[in-house]
Structure 1
Amino acid sequence: MIVFILLETSNIIILYFKPDSKLGNGVAVFNGWEESKKDKDMHEFVKYLVYWVAGTKLIFIVLLLVILFTGSSLTKILSVVALILSIGSFYWKLYPIIRGLDKKGKITPYGYSKKLSLMIAGFMIMFSLAMIIYLI
C-alpha cells in the first residue's frame, strides 16, 4: 500500500505542478491537452478537470494514510478490498476511452493505454495477493 501511496502522491504533484508532463500519468500523453490550449475557455475547463482529479487523488491518499496508521486490522482489510474495487473501476469507463484514443493516434506514445492497463492490473493483483497472504 505504501508503494501505491508514493506513486499516487507523485501523480498528484505532477497533475498540480507539471500537468504538461508525460511522466507519472501526466495529461500531456493526451494530444488533446495541447489542442485544448488553442481555445482558452476549453483549456481552462480541461485544467479544472485535471486539478479536480488531482484533488480527488489527494483525498483518497490522505484517507488511506489515516487508515494505514490508525485503522484496525479489519478496517485495513476492507480498505484493500475497496482499493481493488475502486482501482478496477478504471476498466469500466476510462479504459475504453483511452484505448479508443490510443487507436486513433491521440495518445503519445502510441500504446500507452496498454501500458497503463497493465500497471493498473498489476496493482490489483499485488493488492489481492497481499490480502490473501495476510489472511492466511
Structure 2
Amino acid sequence: MTLSQFLEIMNGDLANEWTHLSFYLYHASAVAGLHAHEYKEFFTEAAEGEMRHVQGFLDRLFGLNYTQPCQGPKAFAYVSRIEDILTLAIKLEEDVVTNYTQRLKQLDDLAISHPETAAYLKVFYEDQIKDSYEDAEHMRRLVA
C-alpha cells in the first residue's frame, strides 16, 4: 500500500468522524423521553469527543500533505427515542473499532515504505479504537 492510497482511506475515516459528530450533536437536541435532559448532556459530551476526533484526522491529513480533506458528514438516521439513539450510536462505535482494526493491518503494509509514518499512525488509530471501544461498552450498559 502506498501512502497516497492510505491517505484516501484515512479521508474516508474522516468522513465517518464528521458523521459521528453530526449524529451526536443532532441527537443531543432530538432526544425525547423521561431522561432527555440527562441524555442531551451525554450526547453533547459525545459530540465534543467526536469534534476532537475530527480535528485529529484533519491535523493528520494536513500534516501528511493531503490537499483536500473531507469537509462534512454522510447521511445518518434520525430518531428521538433514547434507546434507538443509543442502539445506533453503539453500531457507529462498533463499526469504528472494526474499521480501525483493519487500518492497523493496512498500516503494516505501509510500514514497508514509510516505517515512521506507519508507526505514528498506528498509535493514532489505536487511540481511536480505545475511545470507541470504551464508548460502545458504556452505551451497551446503558441500554441493558
TM-score category, normalised to shorter length = 0.5 to 0.7
TM-score in terms of structure 1 length: 0.52
The CA distance in 2 between the partners of 1:130 and 1:104, in whole Å, is 37
Could you tell me how far 1:78 is from its partner in structure 2? 1.6
Aligned: 1:122 with 2:130: yes
The count of aligned residue pairs is 98
Q: 1:26 aligns with which of 58, 61, 67?
A: 61
Q: Does the alignment pair 1:106 with 2:114?
A: yes
- In 2, distance between residues paired with 1:133 and 1:79? 14
Which protein has greater RCO, CA pairs closer than 8 Å, 6+ apart?
A: 2
Matches of 1:4 and 1:78, distance apart in 2: 18
**Aligned 8 A contact 2:107 2:121 in 1:** yes
Read off the aligned partner of 1:74 and give its amino acid letter. Answer: E
RMSD: 3.1
Percent sequence identity is: 5
Aligned match of 1:86: 95
The CA distance in 2 between the partners of 1:106 and 1:72, in whole Å, is 46
**Taking structure 1 as reference, are residues 2 and 135 closer, same or farther at Cα in structure 2, changes over 3 Å only?**
same
Unaligned runs of 5+ in 1: 15-22, 34-45
Unpaired segments ≥5 residues, structure 2 = 1-45
* One-letter amino acid of the structure 2 residue matched with residue 128 of structure 1: A
